[in-house]
Amino acid sequence: MSDSAAAPDDNQEEEIARRAPPTKPTTATPSGIEVPPVVTPDMVGDADQGVPGEYPFTRGIFPDGFRGRLWTIRQYSGFGTAEESNERYRFLLDQGQTGLSVALDLPTQCGYDPVDPIAKSEVGKVGVSLSNLAEAEILFDGIDLGGISTSFTINGTASIVYAMYCAVADKRGVPREKLTGTIQNDILKEYVARGTWIFPVRPSLRLIADTILFSYEQTPRFNAISIAGAHVRDAGCTAVEEMGYTLANGLAYIDELIARGGDVEKFARRLSFFFYVHMDFFEEVCKFRAGRRLWAKLLTERYGVQDPKALMFRFGVVCGGSSLIGAQPYNNVVRVGIENMAAVMGGAQSIFTAAFDEAYQIPTEHSAEIAVRTQQIVAHESGIARTVDPLGGSHYVEWLTDRMEEEITKVIEEIEEYGGVTKAVEDGWLQLKIAQRAAERKRKVDDGETVVVGQNYFRREDQNEGVAELFKLDPQASARVIEKFERIRDGRDNGAVEASLAALEKAAATDSENMMPYLINCCHAYATVGEMVATLKKQWGEFQEPVRL
């Protein structure tokens, strides 16, 4: 790029850096809800606040909140080889982490084996390479699968990774009914936010229904889906849109499961949700209170669900994400602490806190430990876990919860008026809306309308002073992964592999046969992720992203 092309951006950055910071807070939340200077009792509606543990669950899904049990403390981690990630997991568990959250590399997420030319340069870079059962056995070596909850952030290949986890348990002699954890498995938001989709929308929905229906029978304590607003939020959406799009996706999955003959009273017990927590403290708390209440209402009013456990809005969160910045990175410790408090006040069941350096690198052991300690300090020193919904009854919190519910409902209704989530994704309508919102969010930061400390205000010459420890990924990690892959492929029973893949292809050609038993058999035969995906592509093809201008 020439100097003349770069000059406008440079000049704009310098101008913003010179600008005096705002002396007054904005009067609207990031979602655009105008906040009055004070909220009085007469301004609070008559929405049913109820009590914790009872419909409509505004104040929480458990009557004793965190007094009965703390949230699951996780740290999202995984890199390089299965051996390296296993070592990090053991370290984090030794530091008091109570659940695992597995990060997988892009080849695994997108269905490529590490030897594929398109994958070689990305092996192990943003997560651990997990191409076959042998790698999964190494990844969970020495970890009690029956006693630890494991979360996988995986979507396009979620059913395969879930099958692999079941296969590891089978080989270890761990009963499947003892497995606890979650696979994200929310393909609808992948089409609009992250891009790790593989198959077209409708066969992808079939796979998701397969995992949920199979899980209900085989792994009843494992959540086979975590309907995720997190990535649409990081892609640019507001808190209102994040919750609205997520609940709309949840309704689409319910409709698919009902069409497959599922009993909503049963499978709804295992639906879970996943969000990012950003920096507007009260909006985030009220987002969760409103979402919890609205989900219970939707299930009751639309589907006639009566079982209280099926109405419970179970969710996990990430504290961090796009709210963290590379400049002055130690400020991110404060950001994550604030977001952690909002997650607890909002009633999250599972929390993982991003490390302060995650804006620019894989966390070091030092930064990962600080992230875990942040949750432990909030849990054991702050006192906010002593009572349920400690902000409940605040005029402002109840008012904002009502406003959030109203705005979230409008988002859902807009999608339904268009024709539903599936049509909105296939047409590219939803992708365009998110892209427009992302551009708006960036403009507000660039123009200085949104204050980001250290980025557009309160800058200094050496933004990264004092940051000494850098994570270094072993440059030979990819070579070791490929060497192991080829060794496994050469040593397995190829006849068993071919037979398992042929059975998988035959099942995929049917309209509704559950794919999970076939995927588990493939994993036991040491078929690879790439081989299973290629087999399914023969029957289903690939998603073609629509282009809208």
User: Euclidean distance between the first and final Cα of the chain, in Å?
Assistant: 26
Would you call 74 helix, strand, or coil by DSSP?
Answer: strand
3-state secondary structure 468-509: CCCCCCCCCHHHHHHHHHHHHHHHCCHHHHHHHHHHHHHHHC
pTM of the model as a whole = 0.92
425-439 pLDDT tens trace: 999 999 999 999 999
Query: Is residue 532 situated within a structural domain?
Result: no
What does the DSSP 8-state code read for residue 192?
I
Domain assignment present for residue 521? The answer is: no
Q: 508-531 b/e with 16+ CB inside 10 Å = b?
A: beeeeebbbbbbbbbbbbbbbbbb
On whether residue 348 sits in a domain, the answer given is yes
Residuewise pLDDT in 10s, the chain (549 residues) = 334 344 445 566 566 555 667 778 889 999 999 999 999 999 997 766 789 999 999 999 999 999 999 999 998 889 999 999 999 999 999 999 999 999 999 999 999 999 999 999 999 998 999 999 999 999 999 999 999 999 999 999 999 999 999 999 999 999 999 999 999 999 999 999 988 999 999 999 999 999 999 999 999 999 999 999 999 999 999 999 999 999 999 999 999 999 999 999 999 999 999 999 999 999 999 999 999 999 999 999 999 999 999 999 999 999 998 999 999 999 999 999 999 999 999 999 999 999 999 998 889 999 999 999 999 999 999 999 999 999 999 999 999 999 999 999 999 999 999 999 999 999 999 999 999 999 999 999 998 899 999 988 888 877 776 676 777 777 888 999 999 999 999 999 999 999 999 999 999 999 889 999 999 999 999 999 999 999 999 999 999 887 665
444 vs 30, 238, 249, 391, 451, CA distance in Å?
A: 10, 13, 28, 30, 9
CA 235 from centroid of its chain's CA atoms = 12
Identity at 382, one-letter amino acid code: S
Domain extent, residue 437, equals 64-446
In a domain, 541, yes or no: no
Q: For residue 58, report the phi and psi dihedrals to the nearest 5 degrees.
A: -55, -40
User: Rounded distance, CA 29 to CA 419, Å?
Assistant: 29
Decide if 201 contacts 422 (C-beta within 8 A). Answer: yes
Please indicate, yes or no, if residue 168 is contained in any of the structural domains.
Answer: yes
Mean pLDDT of the chain: 92
Structural domain includes residue 488? no
Number of domains into which the chain is organized: 1
Domain-located, residue 480: no
d(CA 167, CA 145): 12
Residue with tokens 């604030």: 338
Tell me if 481 is assigned to some domain: no
CA dist., res. 225 & res. 246, Å (int): 12
The answer to whether 99 touches 147, Cβ cutoff 8 Å, is no
CATH code of the domain containing 382: 3.20.20.240
Nearest CA to 159 out of 135, 140, 184, 138 is that of 184
Please enumerate in sequence order all residues whose Cβ is within 8 A of that of 194, keeping only pairs 6 or more positions apart, or say none.
155, 231, 235
Q: Are 371 and 363 in contact (CB under 8 A)?
A: yes
Beta bridge partners of 150: 100, 181
